[in-house]
Amino acid sequence: MLAILSCTLLLLTKPVKAEKSLGTPGSTWGEIRFPGSAQPEDKNNLILEGAVEQGVDFFRLSKDSAFNVFGKLDYTLDKEGFDWNRKLKLGAGLKLRHYISDTVVIAVGAKYEIDRRFVGDRTLEGFQLFSNWFGSWQLPSSKSNDSARALSFPGLTWGEVRYPGSQDPSEENDIILEGYVEQGVDTMRLNALGTINFYANLDYITDSKELDWNNAIATGVGVKLKKLIGSNLLLQFGIEASRERRWVSGQTDNVIFVYLNWSSWWDPRAIRLDLPE
């Protein structure tokens, strides 16, 4: 379910359309959830995780395509003290981002990352190639004279292909594909408190090495209260019932998550270039 945020931040900010400006897009997201995952070892685990990214568009191919250099910080902390859940990751890279429409974006790039694991006292590092995409939509809403109960149907999807899967030796030569799809229904607006949203989602992941934890599909249904603060800070508090199936081992696990997450995005648009007309 963290999947929602990690690519929602694939930059909801559309690059500046003006031919004479380049964007400086940045984003952050975080989530606290209990339990940590559907796996038995995480059943009593509380997890905090998130990321911050800042980029600079340095060359524009068109009004919808730009080369971007970026720096990124990922963090994970848990109550149980598992090695894979106690880490800090620093990365820097280059990507080409293209907006297919106002709500669909795709990026391809490469980055160098340093992955510090605190429990095992080890540092992993190396290059990673990636391609990721994000899309959102709003289905036609119902008509209602009561604006507090007028329905809307927001949805989103994201995905990523990366090589190697991570800097961990077990995924050294692994190609991973993962993604997420969600369809929601905004059922009621509670004025200053936010909007109640019921949703169904699908998480998927598969890899070239057929590692058990990288070959799974999870379906979930949930309800959340979401609140947009200003124009670029989203808070969500919810509960979700999820069922995960790992087809390599044949293992199936059911879980009920409680979570609080947040995301924010910005683009100061501070860089102006004197380009020819």
- Residue 142: what pLDDT? 64
What is residue 42's three-state secondary structure? helix
How sure is the predictor about 231, in pLDDT bands with cuts at 50, 70 and 90? confident
Q: What pLDDT score was predicted for residue 66?
A: 95
Q: Using an 8 Å Cβ cutoff, are 86 and 76 in contact?
A: yes
Contact between 106 and 80 (Cβ < 8 Å): no
In this predicted model, which residue has the larger pLDDT, 95 or 145? 95
Residues in a beta bridge with 106: 98, 133
Peptide bond into 40 cis (omega under 30): no
Measuring CA to CA, which residue among 105, 89, 90, 91 is closest to residue 23?
Answer: 105
pLDDT band at 141 (very low <50, low <70, confident <90, very high): confident
Band (148; pLDDT cuts 50, 70, 90) = low
More confident residue, 245 or 13: 245
Question: DSSP code of 12?
Answer: -
Burial of residue 6 (number of CB atoms within 10 Å: 0-12, 13-18, 19+): buried
Domain boundaries, the chain: 3-272
Question: In this predicted structure, what is the pLDDT of residue 7?
Answer: 44
pLDDT for 14 equals 41
Look-up: residue for tokens 């559907």? 38
What mean pLDDT comes out for the span 221-246?
A: 97
More confident residue, 81 or 192: 81
Instruction: Write b or e for each residue in 133-171: b if 16 or more Cβ atoms lie within 10 A of its Cβ, otherwise e.
Output: bbbbeeeeeeeeeeeeeeebebbbbbbbebbbbbbeeeb
Joined together, the tokens standing for residue 89 give: 């990751």
pLDDT of residue 16 exceeding 60 = no
Burial of 128: CB neighbours in 10 Å, binned 0-12, 13-18, 19+:
middle
The model's pLDDT over 157-215, given as tens digits with 9 standing for 90+, comes to 999 999 999 999 999 999 999 999 999 999 999 988 999 999 999 999 999 999 999 99
User: What is the average pLDDT across 104-125?
Assistant: 97
The CA distance from 204 to 56, in Å, is 31
pLDDT at 4: 44
Whether the Cβ atoms of residue 175 and residue 182 lie closer than 8 Å to each other? no
Mean pLDDT in residue range 84-99: 97
Burial of 85 (0-12, 13-18, 19+ CB in 10 A): buried
Q: How far apart are CA 273 and CA 93, in angstroms?
A: 22
Calculate the CA 190 to chain-centre distance.
26
In the structure encoding, which two tokens stand for residue 67, read together? 């080369």
Among 16-30, 63-77, 86-100, 251-265, which stretch is predicted with the lowest mean pLDDT? 16-30
Please give the Cα distance from 124 to 140 (Å, whole number).
47
CATH 1.10.1660 fits 3-272, yes or no: no
